[in-house]
Structure 1
Amino acid sequence: MVAAAGFVFAAVVYVLAVLTRAGQTIENAALRGADRDDVSETDAAWHALGQITVYSLAAAVVAVALVGVLRKRWDLTVAAVGVIVAGQLVVQVLKRWVLPRPGLVEVTGGYAHNSLPSGHTTIAMTVLFAAIIVVPWKWRGVMLFFVLPWATAIGQYTLTAKWHRLSDTLAADGIALAIAALASWWLQRKGSLTVYTGPRRAGRVVLVVFWSLIAAATLALGLILWGFPLAGEGLDADEWVVYLGAGTFASAGSLIAALTFLACWRRIH
């Protein structure tokens, strides 16, 4: 069900944002609004995105695989590595050869080509999901403390750096979640997963509650930033406000995807 929802969500995002004139107009306004962001924020975004390379991706795959090998859990290793690899295969094929971007509004240069789904967002989210799969239950909270903030920030960084549109990040969130859910379903079918019956870990509960509140707050903020200006001024809304709304929606989308997958793995070895 989660996998189907992820794929459907990505498809709906593509239809609304790419195949409609209003969707393209709003997203292009957000890109222009990013020009008004602080230089330090833009530099931070470029630095964070620049660290995601073929070599760092390979290192992440090796690290995930190493955890599974040390645990002597080849099933988890295959599932976790498969999530990262399959994520890139799916989004690159969709972006380069399958999904067109019709010219419904006037744009120039690189903004005319299709950039959905975001490869960088997919890398960040699939690495997070793979870590949830392969890391032992008792260490999952520690892993989340370090990996979750980084993974969920990448989507927003792609907007700040003007590497991607909001729809690119949201579609990537949906696809990454769907692939991770399919891998988890495969593990469950194999009998690889067991229920943890021990006591709760208070620190992890606090962490999840905190990020749930952040997700709700960013989603609400995005609705406010887009709702009032777009309702009052329509597609002529201030580009800076549109950009801020897009950034909050990007953060909310990644957080909701992460928390959804984490909920599927609640108290699961």
Structure 2
Amino acid sequence: MDIPARRWLIVAGVSVVVAVLVYVFAVLTATGQSLENAALRGADQYGDTARNAADTNLGQITVYSLACAVIAVAVIGLLRRRWELAVAAVGVIVAGQVVTQGLKRYVLPRPGLVPLVGHYAENSLPSGHTTIAMTVLFAALIVAPYRWRGVALFLFLGWAASIGSYTVTAKWHRLSDTLAADAISLALACIASWWLARCGLVHRYEGRRRIPRVLIVVFTALAGLTALALGLLLLIVPLSRYGLDDVLRNETWDVYLVAQSLASAGSIAAALVFLATWRRKRT
């Protein structure tokens, strides 16, 4: 197996491990469940305008919009006269929903380790909406020609990252749901890329570096690092000052902001990792 193909399998394996670790900590420990429940309570302090906006944006993801996305990426692949690209891109989106819904509905339990009532006690990991957003992004990056890959990142990443954040604001999902969805989507996209490489469709790009794309990647990385730093700061400072029990009781707004920031950071990180696996690679 050549090196370009192997890199995608390695990243896919690491992504699966990340998804498992997220599930174990956030769902199978009382601390993880308590922190995420606190974030849900903190979201109640958000204004109705913000929650309605989140609901509206999430509501735009429907079966019909998903079908349009599938058709769009398939058409791009076929216009490039590469049916393999169309199959890989469509496969990432479709497999994302099969895996996500299967795990959420039939495989991954959410034990009741802390007191909680209502539909929030039900399992919601991984997030189907986040999976849709991220797999559409990855599919676009797969079918896009090399020169347009940076444009595809610019057009889709802001939307994809915001979906994860919206799910937390609207209380449709917890932070762990979005992080697990990011990891699963990345794993599936890497498997599709590995298949393309094994088919001999991935080649090294020998042209010059494109400065606009470099600027897009740098700006995206800075945005991701900012979101990550903000999330960690908002978590570490209250914990060091008040302790976990007090934070869970009285600092739920901060815990919500942590979840929202880390949700965006997770999506950005997954996108940049996938883009890095395709560095100077073309189809």
Give TM-score, length-normalised by structure 1. 0.98
In structure 1, the residue matched to 2:105 is 96
Aligned 1:168-187 pairs, distance under 5 A: 168-187=177-196
Matched, 1:221 2:230: yes
Aligned 1:140-179 pairs, distance under 5 A: 140-179=149-188
In structure 2, the residue matched to 1:260 is 273
Matched, 1:54 2:67: no
Q: CA deviation at 1:220?
A: 1.0
Which one of the candidate residues 226, 238, 245 is aligned to 1:235? 245
Matched, 1:126 2:135: yes
Which one of the candidate residues 115, 124, 128 is aligned to 2:124? 115
Percent identity over paired residues: 63
Which one of the candidate residues 76, 82, 86 is aligned to 1:73? 82
Of stretches 242-251 and 36-45 in structure 1, the one that deviates more from structure 2 is 36-45
Q: CA deviation at 1:226?
A: 0.7
Give the gaps of 5 or more residues in structure 2: 1-9
Once residues 235 and 195 of structure 1 are traced to their aligned partners in structure 2, the CA distance between those partners, rounded to angstroms, is 53
Q: CA deviation at 1:43?
A: 1.8
**1:200-253 residue CA offsets vs partner (Å, 9 max, x unmatched):** 111111010001011111111111111121233213310000000111010100
Conservation of the 8 A alpha-carbon contact between 1:156 and 1:248: yes
Q: CA deviation at 1:39?
A: 2.4
Once residues 168 and 245 of structure 2 are traced to their aligned partners in structure 1, the CA distance between those partners, rounded to angstroms, is 19
Which one of the candidate residues 245, 259, 275 is aligned to 1:246? 259
Q: CA deviation at 1:264?
A: 0.6
**1:76-118 residue CA offsets vs partner (Å, 9 max, x unmatched):** 1111100001110001000000000000111111001000000
Which one of the candidate residues 67, 73, 97 is aligned to 1:64? 73
In structure 1, the residue matched to 2:39 is 30
Moved over 6 A (4+): none
Once residues 76 and 44 of structure 2 are traced to their aligned partners in structure 1, the CA distance between those partners, rounded to angstroms, is 42
Does the residue aligned with 2:115 lie in a helix, a strand or coil? coil
In structure 1, the residue matched to 2:53 is 44
Once residues 246 and 145 of structure 1 are traced to their aligned partners in structure 2, the CA distance between those partners, rounded to angstroms, is 24
Give TM-score, length-normalised by structure 2. 0.93
Q: How many residues are treated as equivalent by the alignment?
A: 269
**1:166-204 residue CA offsets vs partner (Å, 9 max, x unmatched):** 000000000000011111111111111111111111111
Of stretches 229-238 and 160-169 in structure 1, the one that deviates more from structure 2 is 229-238
